[in-house]
Amino acid sequence: MSHHLVEVENLRHVYPDGTMALRGVSFRIHHGESVAVIGANGAGKSTLLQHLNGYLAATDGHIRIGDTPLSKSTLPDIRRTVGMVFQNPDDQLFMPTVFDDVAFGPLNLGLIGEHVEKRVTDALERVGAGHLRDKPPYHLSGGEKKRVAIATVLSMSPDILVMDEPTSGLDPSARRQLISLLRQFHHTKIFTSHDLDMVMELCERTIILHEGLIMADDLTVTIFGNEDLLAACRLEKPLSMQGCPLCSKKHRD
């Protein structure tokens, strides 16, 4: 079995206040797949992603990465395989400089000297943030923080990339650059996003979560063609599939 495989079986999560965020979620993602997890706010998307490398512990159910069940004892190995980019970059940036933040992971892998330097330089260049390496993270804009947060994960060379709302806070140029970067990542990609046009560009497969349940798991083009399903899950088609409202109005007139 490929170590890139992600298998989730009957995953449930109940928060301390009694909120049931996941209600028995099951799916399997194979090596090289690019999969979007979409849904309205509160559907359970971020909760699901935070289970994939153990930032949240399941109330019930099982997760396997390749042949390795996720547990306390396997957590270090899982996190070397599964790189997680949080929605809020402030959750990942805590060191005095950008360089220190991006170097943190490789140093914890046991790399030293020029090997760390190369990992940091390559990761920052890939996200277009090489010029930020000596800056304190708290002096960066929201979009700059997002790019650096992505670099902290890329520097670890993960086999599986998990991203929560990767384009939020990015301007159009940075968004396009990120999409180009994700195209070049040929291993497994899993991300949540309200940017459904990005989902159309990058993902052949989409999973819809609604109130903690999987409502659909199918080809992206099939899901976005099902207007009844989208409406039931408080979603709409990507803008690129909606047509021009002005043209539609002229046609009706």
Tell me the whole-structure pTM to 2 decimals.
0.89
Do strands 188-192 and 34-38 pair parallel, antiparallel, or not at all (unpaired)? parallel
Residue 36 lies in domain: 6-94+159-252
Partner residues linked to 159 by β-bridges? none
Tell me the mean pLDDT in the region 50-67: 94
Q: What is the mean pLDDT of the chain?
A: 91
Note whether residue 108 is domain-resident: no
Note whether residue 148 is domain-resident: no
- Whether the per-residue pLDDT at 1 is higher than 50: the answer is no
In total, how many domains does the chain have? 1
Note whether residue 14 is domain-resident: yes
Longest dimension (CA), the chain: 69
Tell me the mean pLDDT in the region 167-172: 84
CATH of the domain at 27: 3.40.50.300
- State the sign of the Cα–Cα–Cα–Cα dihedral 225, 228, 230, 235: positive
- pLDDT tens-digit series, residues 96-119: 999 999 999 999 888 899 999 999
Least confident of 8-12, 76-80, 205-209: 76-80
- Whether the per-residue pLDDT at 2 is higher than 60: the answer is no
Query: How much is the pLDDT for 198?
Result: 94
* Nearest to 206, CA basis, from 4, 49, 34, 25: 34
Note whether residue 141 is domain-resident: no
Note whether residue 123 is domain-resident: no
Higher pLDDT, 250 or 104: 104
Note whether residue 102 is domain-resident: no
- Whether the per-residue pLDDT at 207 is higher than 50: the answer is yes
Helix (H) or strand (E) holding 81: helix 75-81
Rg, Å, the chain Cα set:
19
